[in-house]
Amino acid sequence: MPVTLNADNNTDRADLPETSPWRTTAVVCVGLLPCLGAWLFAMSPSDQAALTITKSRPSLLFATYMYHHGEEPVQLAAVLESEFPFVNKGDAPVTIGDITTSCGCMRPRLSKQTVAPGEMGWLTVPIQMVNQSPGPHEYTLTVNYTDTVARQTTLTIKAAFPQKMVVVQPKALYLSQRSTKPLPFNVAISDFRDTPLRVTSVKSTAPFVSAELSASAASGIVQASHQEGTPGSKAELRGEVAGGIPRGRHHVLVTATTDDVDFPVVTIPMLVNGPAFPPGEAPITSPSQLRLLASDHPGTRRAAKFDLVMPSKWQVSHASVWPSELEVTYGDPRPFSDHEQTLEVIVKLSALPAKGVADGVVQLIANDGRDLVTVKVTFVTP
């Protein structure tokens, strides 16, 4: 076969016919060059360390992260409870810290604060049903905990509330009374159930706050949030904060006793701001609020304490509480600084409060009644 030279590039490459096996072999070899290079690179030694991926997994695992009570409305009661079991799947103890909630109506409680490896626990979340609007609701909780690092877990509760509810308006009162004139207020307790409750008496935990049933205590009403116009009843309460109240900020509860076994007591929390203390003379309580276990289980410690730091010239004469199941004891004050003294106060729950009662108040009366210190108490059911 004649061979000719390529005059264009002056090379010795022979022009092979398209059907030549030598030409096919050359094309295949050229196509395999990238793969051959990659193989040779992989076989060559490298100075780089092998790439490893590590990911720290959370130790605290919940059986469910969303508690759904169903599409149908739940049964009306004073409290709706949801429970989240959990387990520590890690190798180190887990310490559960703050739990933040999307609604103040939620009172989460833990079976234990520290969870050993492999140990189980429960987070129970009661939701106060008074004042909940009808229809579907969604609530969230953020659980902050630490295993080897700080972590967060979000839990969700879904529930639909019935159209026939017990509603208090307003839910709470925040008043400022710094004059000598009485300050009036009004509260309405509405019941949209088939058999509405009846308010039998109204009281206040503070001597400077008075409340009573108005002349039109029971009247027919219609629930505006229900399209069919469900009838109900409304008890109207009227009250006033007296003029010249003690200095400082005071927790007060207006309590309405009813004839209903599911809602024996309806409470309306108040925060009343009186005249300000002179600089450096305001009393301080630590902690500012208390939490007490409301359980009749043997061994439950239903007691807590707080320290009251107050001016050295103060004299605490006596204490009062609500509800009556609370007991208060304290001794003699101790010097705290050149101008202050501290008083240790122990608060105990001698018996379980009435059904639906979630809060209480401790009052310390000082200086012949001129000064008052109040501490809010929250009851936690294990």
Whichever domain contains 241, its CATH number is: 2.60.40.10
Q: How far apart are CA 140 and CA 67, in angstroms?
A: 10
Q: How far apart are CA 114 and CA 376, in angstroms?
A: 26
Q: What is the mean pLDDT of the chain?
A: 83
Q: How far apart are CA 311 and CA 330, in angstroms?
A: 17
Greatest alpha-carbon span in the chain: 131
pLDDT band at 51 (very low <50, low <70, confident <90, very high): low
167 and 272 fall within a common domain: yes
Residue 348 maps to which CATH number? 2.60.40.3450
286 and 272 fall within a common domain: no
Q: 311 lies in a domain?
A: yes
- With a pLDDT cut of 90, the percent of the chain lying above it is 55
The reply to whether omega before 264 is within 30° of 0 (cis) is no
289 and 263 fall within a common domain: no
Q: What's residue 313's pLDDT? A: 95
Please give the tally of structural domains in the chain. Answer: 3
Average pLDDT over residues 147-163: 91
Q: 49 lies in a domain?
A: no
Q: CA-CA distances (angstroms) from residue 311 to 282, 337, 371?
A: 8, 9, 12
Q: 23 lies in a domain?
A: no
- Which domain range does residue 301 map to? 278-382
143 and 78 fall within a common domain: yes
- Kindly report, residue by residue over 187-239, the tens digit of the pLDDT: 999 888 888 888 999 999 999 999 999 865 444 444 444 334 455 788 899 99
Q: 80 versus 184: which is more confidently predicted?
A: 184
Statement: the pTM of the whole predicted model exceeds 0.85? no
Q: 22 lies in a domain?
A: no
146 and 209 fall within a common domain: no
Q: What's residue 50's pLDDT? A: 56
Q: 148 lies in a domain?
A: yes
Which among 161, 194, 228 is the end of a domain?
Answer: 161
Phi, psi of 277 (to 5 degrees): -80, 155
Q: 224 lies in a domain?
A: yes
102 and 87 fall within a common domain: yes
Average pLDDT over residues 86-113: 90
pLDDT of residue 376 exceeding 60: yes
237 and 268 fall within a common domain: yes
pLDDT of residue 345 exceeding 60: yes
Which among 224, 258, 276 is the end of a domain?
Answer: 276
Which among 276, 291, 315 is the end of a domain?
Answer: 276
Q: 197 lies in a domain?
A: yes
Beta bridge partners of 327: 348
111 and 121 in contact (C-beta within 8 Å)? Answer: yes
Q: What's residue 11's pLDDT? A: 42
Q: What's residue 48's pLDDT? A: 54
Q: What's residue 321's pLDDT? A: 97
Q: Is 130 helix (H, G, I), strand (E, B) or coil?
A: coil
Q: How far apart are CA 143 and CA 98, in angstroms?
A: 7
Handedness of CA 62, 65, 71, 74 (dihedral sign): positive
